[in-house]
Amino acid sequence: MLERTPKIAYLTAGAAGMYCGSCMHDNTLASALTRLGVDVQLIPTYTPIRTDEEDVSIDQVFFGGINVFLEQLVPGYRFLPGSIRSLLDRPSLIRWATKGVSSTSPKSLGALTVSMLRGDQGYQATEVTKICDWLAKTVHPDLINFSNVMIAGCVPHLKRQLNVPLVVTLQGDDIFLESLPEPYKSRALAEIRKLVEHIDAFLTHSQYYARFMSEYLGIPAEKFRVVPLGIDTRDFPPLPGPVGTRREPTQTIGYLARLAPEKGLHILVDAFIELSRREATRDVRLQIAGWLGENNRAYAEAEFAKLREAGLQDHFHYAGSVSREEKVAFLRRLDVFSVPTTYHEPKGLFVLEALAAGVPVVLPEHGAFPELIEATGGGRLVAPNDAIALADELERTLLDHSSRHRLAQAGGQAVHARFNAESMARATLRILSEFFPMGIDAD
């Protein structure tokens, strides 16, 4: 007879005060699993997480960013008294110390990444022992889920000490790894391949990413499980009426993501400038929102300057980094949404958010986007990295009111019915139940 519900330790990675798609996903999933009755502890690493929903993570940070850096840089630092090291792991102190650290490039983190992946053989061995002991003595998990492979260097130690199933969710790990300079990239990949044998399963949110990461990291295909992505739709209001009946005197294209080259803002800007030269779309507007780190400020300002030089200073607006309530309101004002990433997006949270608000999407035909469009019916695909092709499809979508309404309704209904947080949590729990010990009720 089944005796109890599962207990899951979910390790997530903070991003130094930046809104991060991965930790936002992790927070949404942990919250939804909790509502299903699962005992989940969402455990931040490096820094506290930042999310636009209620933060359900514990008020404690492991592998604290300050200690991890000092252990890497200062010989003998790990021999300092534990009381001092614990002080430096206080979430409030880490938040203060890492303000503006979003400008740190992954290229400067090569040696630290390799060391972290080496686990108890790296400079952060004390941190590995600390989290393993805490999990064994305090949490007693039935399963441990890591939100990315870069924080999974401790899995061999965990296997020896706890002997529980270990699962890693891959959410764009290749993007970080590809940014590392040599020899650190090759060394990091070699360390990850050593970890694969200790990890029971890898979760992805698209078939594309499962296939890609299987080859990229040398992971056997049978270790992959695909879980449909989901978002919390509870505060998205009912879908609007036909798009063509909106009262706005002009039509609006929207972008909501980090302002960064890899997100393709420059491609959208070029497409928007092209649209402004066409008779049928010369009055179209561009609304931009999202996190802007100091490392990308010059890039964003150059794109804004490009728009002003084209005489479009009154046709675009940057809303900055928006709250949850502001995000929903921002999306509901749009007629079409596009984030034309230059990289192959592994999941696409912003796609589901736009669709949940009843806004059709136009996206590049790569990464997880084709699967999302096929599954939701909420948008159209264009050739990647092609501003003219993007402008053409945006124009067709804006001018064809009935088609745009059909896309909006199909996409919105699909997200609210099948790509919500509860659906994602139930699908995740079904997969994780493969690895739970006997006697645990995962239904």
Closest alpha carbon to 39 in 180, 174, 139, 175:
139
171-218: per-residue pLDDT in tens? 999 999 999 999 999 999 999 999 999 999 999 999 999 999 999 999
Number of Cβ within a 10 Å radius of residue 400: 14
- Where does the chain hold its CATH 3.40.50.2000 domain(s)? 7-232+422-432, 243-419
| pLDDT tens per residue, range 132-162 | 999 999 999 999 999 999 999 999 999 999 9
- The tens digit of pLDDT for each residue in 343-355 reads 999 999 999 999 9
Least Cα distance to 265 among 286, 295, 241 occurs for 286
* Model pLDDT for residues 274-303, shown as the tens digit of each residue: 999 999 999 999 999 999 988 899 999 999
**pLDDT for the residue 95:** 63
Helix (H) or strand (E) holding 166: strand 166-169
Mean of the per-residue pLDDT values for the chain?
Answer: 90
pTM of the model: 0.91
pLDDT for 52-86, tens place per residue?
889 999 998 888 767 777 788 777 767 666 666 67
**Cβ–Cβ < 8 Å for 65, 97:** yes
Query: In the beta sheet, which residues pair with residue 221?
Result: none
Residues 6+ away with beta carbon under 8 Å from 137: none
The pair of structure tokens assigned to 203 is 């979760």
Omega within 30 of 0 (cis) for the link into 183: yes
Q: 412: which residues sit within 8 A by CB, 6+ positions away?
A: 239, 355, 356, 357, 358, 378
Burial of 78 (0-12, 13-18, 19+ CB in 10 A): middle
Please report where in the chains the tokens 């100091």 appear, as a residue.
294
Q: What is the pLDDT of residue 2?
A: 40
- Which pLDDT score, from 0 to 100, does residue 287 have? 98
In this predicted structure, what is the pLDDT of residue 74? 76
- Does domain 7-232+422-432 sit in CATH 3.30.1360.30? no
pLDDT of 51 reads 85
Task: Check pLDDT > 80 for residue 320.
Answer: yes
Question: Given a cut of 80, is residue 90 above it in pLDDT?
Answer: no
Best CA proximity match to 67, nearest among 39, 31, 100, 93: 93
Q: Mean pLDDT, to the nearest integer, of 44-50?
A: 88
Give the per-residue pLDDT at 268.
Answer: 98
243-419: CATH, from 3.40.50.2000, 3.40.50.150, 3.40.50.720, 3.40.50.300: 3.40.50.2000
The per-residue pLDDT for range 256-265, each reduced to its tens digit, is 999 999 999 9
**204 beta partners:** 226
Provide the pLDDT for residue 416. 96
User: Which residues does residue 387 pair with via DSSP β-bridges, in sequence order?
Assistant: none
pLDDT, greater one: 97 or 286: 286
Residue 207's H or E segment, with its range, is helix 207-217
DSSP state of 402: H
Report residue 1's pLDDT band, with 50, 70 and 90 as the boundaries: very low
- For residues 310 and 83, the model is more confident at 310
- pLDDT computed for residue 103 by the predictor: 46
**357 in Cβ contact with 322 (< 8 Å):** no
Least confident interval from 22-26, 318-322, 413-417: 22-26
The CA distances from residue 314 to 308, 310, 385, 396, in Å, are 8, 11, 26, 23
